[in-house]
Amino acid sequence: MKKTLLLALVLAATATVGAQVSYDRLLRADREPQNWLTYSGSYMSQRHSPLTQITPANVKNLELQWVWQARSLERFQATALVVDGIMYTVQAPNDIVALDAVSGKLFWMYSYRPAATARPCCGRVNRGVAILGDTLFMGTIDAHLVAVDAKGGKPIWDVAIAKPESGYAITHAPLVIKDKVVVGVAGGEFGIRGFLAAYDAKTGKEAWRFYTIPGPGEPGNETWGGDSWKRGGGPIWNTGAYDPELNLTYWGTGNPSPDYNGDLRPGDNLYTSSLVAVDADTGKLKWHYQFTPHDEYDFDSTQVPVLADVQWQGRPRKVLFFANRNGFFYALDRATGEFLSGKPFVKVTWATGFDAKGHPIRPKDKFPTPEGVHIDPGNQGGTNWYNPSYSPRTGLFYIPSWVDYDTVYFKRPVEYVEGQSFGGGIPRTTHPPGIATTTNSYQLPSEGHGAIRAMDALTGQKKWDFEMADVTDAGVLTTASDLLFSGGREGYFFALDAKTGALLWKATVGGVIASGPMTYSVNGRQYVAVNAGSALFSFALRQ
């Protein structure tokens, strides 16, 4: 609590609406499409909104309604929540703001000052908050979890859940399940021992902790040579999903440590670069599927798991779709963890396919060496943490993709030193993706570019591409009017026809979009909001 600081003042009297966000409301988020109650829009994490006021026919009439300028120059990666006309988002690194969702007016700001020992690997970023009742929850880059009053921004509790000086951080939005707040830790570049944990929403008391790396005597520990499990990585830095019927929560885990030199950790290195399905009450592992065994490419599997109930090969099935950084698009049975399919959505050379049980088949010469080895996709993956979307209407799964680039991986000796980078190699991208700099704008499309790639979720076949000149860090939103919203590094925010990929509308927002758009409605008017550069933009139809 000492480190917390209430900086901003309440500019208007506290929020006027105090309807509590009960667990039941979170469960039935689809019944109140005007709100955006969790990071990915619902427990299914489809980023698919039932709102239909904005349509392919009228989207050309979208107009900017307001802009909120953040004071941070850090990448603006948060997805906002909207509850009954009030928007909650995070200004990097760890300031929660409450805005009027109609005007963008600031109600209050809660400023958390992270410890100087915080050392997130890849930017002092945050991807959003969670809400339960009248309380907001935020993880911090110095690995605290804080609870803040949603009405006035006053801190309620603050717990330290891991040591920032060892490399632990929290960058993703927590997920509230029942009366608990579930959150994981980042730090895969520092040799942490990753975990997912649940905290009592009222008190902050830890209810359970699931280590992504099993300790001695636990199943899976045998997949780590020696005592390498102690610093084996397996971070969690993107928000998971939840199936209330199965009472399982699903999270993607990050790379093993050290990233590029597996000699120090012989074995498959469970449960890194995996999907883990955990009992939401106890934290006990129900099943796992490892996407990249013995990962030496930094292929974090921290993408968003997307749940869908579909007709799979003729019968209804609860599936989990996952577009992985490693270049494969997966379908798993989310009750059992059974591997259903894995299809490359970009060029993949680290594996040639799968055996009957879903283990990837690996060429022996596709592991890092001191001399360097080419691997597709490149180090940033075929996709990364950028939010995908699944539309049950089109049956398409939309992936923000990095296409046609690769990386040469060099293995280097490395020793573990607490709190210091523990990489064990250097990834060099053969053609620097991105046209953000002038020199790179002359690269050929075959030297790397971005795309919104629409895959038939049931077959894993590509349906269409919306090609971009630059690569993209922007998430995707779809709506029940078959619109798709996304953006990119070039400063455009755009709407596509979700069925065909045709460009229907665009706006210049003047900065890189490095988060997922979201949509909400207030007083019957639908808005679409997105961060670009260091500002948050909200659009609605011209009146």
Partner 1 sequence: MRRASSVGVVLFSLAVLLGARPAFAQRFHVQSEAEQGEQLYQANCITCHGLEGDEVSGIDFGKGRYKRATSDDDLMRIIRDGIPGTAMPPNKLSEIQRGNIVAYLRSLTAMEPLTSLPGDAARGQALVEGKGNCLSCHRIQANGSRTGPDLTDVGQFRRRVEIEKAILDPSAEIRPENRSYKVVTRDGTTIVGRLMNHDTLMVLLIDDKQQLRAFNKADLRSYGFVMESPMPSYKGKISNDELADMVRYLASLKGIKPQPAQTP
**For binding to partner 1 (CB under 8 A), which residues are involved?**
370-372, 374, 408, 410, 426, 428-432, 435, 438-439, 441-445, 467-470, 488, 490, 492, 503, 506
For 23, which DSSP code?
H
Catalytic position from the list 100, 298, 470, 482: 298
Output phi, psi for 264, to 5 deg. -80, -5
DSSP, collapsed to helix, strand or coil, labels residue 223 as helix
Kindly state the tokens that stand for 17: 């609406």
Shortest distance, position 466 Cβ to partner 1, whole Å: 8
116 versus 444: smaller Cβ distance to partner 1? 444
DSSP, collapsed to helix, strand or coil, labels residue 160 as strand
**CA 50, CA 184: separation in Å to the nearest integer?**
29
244 versus 372: smaller Cβ distance to partner 1? 372
* Residue among 295, 197, 198 at smallest CA distance from 254: 295
Q: Within 13 Å, how many C-alpha atoms sit on residue 49's CB side? A: 33
Exposed, middle or buried: residue 139 (CB in 10 Å: 0-12, 13-18, 19+)?
buried
Q: Which helix (H) or strand (E) holds 211?
A: strand 206-211
349 versus 429: smaller Cβ distance to partner 1? 429
219 versus 445: smaller Cβ distance to partner 1? 445
**CA 535, CA 543: separation in Å to the nearest integer?**
24
The region, left, alpha or beta by phi > 0 then psi within -120 to 50, assigned to residue 337 is: left
Kindly state the tokens that stand for 263: 């000699």
Shortest distance, position 413 Cβ to partner 1, whole Å: 13
178 versus 431: smaller Cβ distance to partner 1? 431
Shortest distance, position 337 Cβ to partner 1, whole Å: 38
Q: Which helix (H) or strand (E) holds 425?
A: strand 425-429
Kindly state the tokens that stand for 341: 């399919």
Cβ distance 448 to 402 under 8 Å?
Answer: yes
Shortest distance, position 299 Cβ to partner 1, whole Å: 20
Output phi, psi for 382, to 5 deg. -70, -30
- Pairing type for strands 48-49 and 477-479 reads parallel
**CA 394, CA 398: separation in Å to the nearest integer?**
10
Q: Residue 149 catalytic?
A: no
201 versus 399: smaller Cβ distance to partner 1? 399
8 versus 435: smaller Cβ distance to partner 1? 435
Give, in order, the Cα–Cα distances in Å from 221 to each of 217, 270, 276: 7, 7, 15
Give, in order, the Cα–Cα distances in Å from 328 to each of 77, 293, 358, 461, 472: 24, 14, 12, 11, 18
309 versus 467: smaller Cβ distance to partner 1? 467
**CA 398, CA 404: separation in Å to the nearest integer?**
18
Enzyme catalytic residues:
298
